[in-house]
Amino acid sequence: MGMGERENSGVSVLGRTIRIQGLKPRAVLGLLLGASLAGIWIANTANPVLVRVLSWLTLVTVGVLVGGLYWRLVLFDRSGFTAEDAYRTVRHRWQRIETIAVLGVVLSGSVYLGFGPGDGPFGPGHVALGIGVIAVLVLWVGLRWLAHALSTRWTVAARSTLLLAALASLAGFAWLETGTRLLDWVVRLAHVGAVSLWLGGAIWHNFVVLPSVRSSPEAGKAMKPQARAFRRHLPVVIPVVFITGVYQTAGLIGWSAPALLSSPIGHLIGFKLFVLTVLSGFVAAAFKRNG
């Protein structure tokens, strides 16, 4: 994902050239969502379709909140804005996304837990996800009510705690999907954590950065360095997604190529690999253009 969406150059993927111009940021977001759905389908083959959908919605909403809050707390630079109106517009755009993500976490997480997946109502996965969901709601309500009364320092502290609550939810979610060995949980958490960072960045790029660039040159100047800073994370995110994905695949169907090619799970894995290849090529092209 990069800022140079208008370039006409292409990247070679599996012997075919894909135009960068045709791979718009919203298409990138769509590919990420599709790959995440395929991943949930693979990890939950024994569960009913409804549980798989709820699991995916929980992952997406928690992921958007985790990745989005990371951008807001780590990459967002208030000092880059010289016009107060531009800063306020960007802040309000993120607040709308944050609100939708929080409500999504609460609704999807609560319903998902209600179906009782995984380790029982008092297992570590249930407890972590449940506490995380409650904490996310309480902290967000507190931020909304007290935003005008809190200093910048306390607002940052509250939002950082909100990020920790979202991470607790993600950790609980990862445990519910594995719940066997500690190593499996760590690998799954690293996988969904990397996906969350990428997904949150894609949301920022589509619904905060690009609208800001189009509507205000002042906001665009402040947001472009943040987008470049996020892009520099991707050379780490992509290998983490790939390596942890390979480990999880081996745990499901082993290393047999015939098993991979002949099973429905294998087709989904192939789709995920295709998406990761396309997005990796897009990121590489963005680095080549912009550094």
Can you list the pairs that 43-48 forms with residues at least 24 positions away whose Cβ atoms lie under 8 Å? Answer: 43/177, 43/188, 43/248, 44/177, 45/265, 47/117
pLDDT of 184 higher than 80: yes
Place 9 in a pLDDT band, splitting at 50, 70 and 90: very low
At 202 the pLDDT is 94
Place 118 in a pLDDT band, splitting at 50, 70 and 90: low
Window from 75-79, 102-106, 215-219 with minimum mean pLDDT: 215-219
Average pLDDT value for residue range 189-193: 97
Distance CA 64, CA 60 (A): 6
190, 240 Cβ separation under 8 angstroms: yes
Place 21 in a pLDDT band, splitting at 50, 70 and 90: very low
Average pLDDT value for residue range 96-112: 96
At 6 the pLDDT is 40
Give the CA distances from residue 110 to residues 32, 102, 120, 132, 284, in Å, rounded to whole numbers and listed in that order.
24, 12, 14, 11, 39
Average pLDDT value for residue range 257-262: 67
Average pLDDT value for residue range 117-135: 86
Distance CA 140, CA 87 (A): 21
Average pLDDT value for residue range 245-272: 76
Place 257 in a pLDDT band, splitting at 50, 70 and 90: low
Question: For the chain, what is the mean pLDDT?
Answer: 85
More confident residue, 180 or 7: 180
Q: Which of 59, 65, 177, 51 is nearest to 112 (CA)?
A: 51
159, 72 Cβ separation under 8 angstroms: yes
At 250 the pLDDT is 79
Average pLDDT value for residue range 71-85: 88
- Give this prediction's pTM: 0.87
Place 57 in a pLDDT band, splitting at 50, 70 and 90: very high
pLDDT of 190 higher than 90: yes
At 2 the pLDDT is 44
Q: How many residues does the chain have?
A: 291
Place 291 in a pLDDT band, splitting at 50, 70 and 90: low
147-162 per-position pLDDT tens digit: 777 777 888 999 999 9
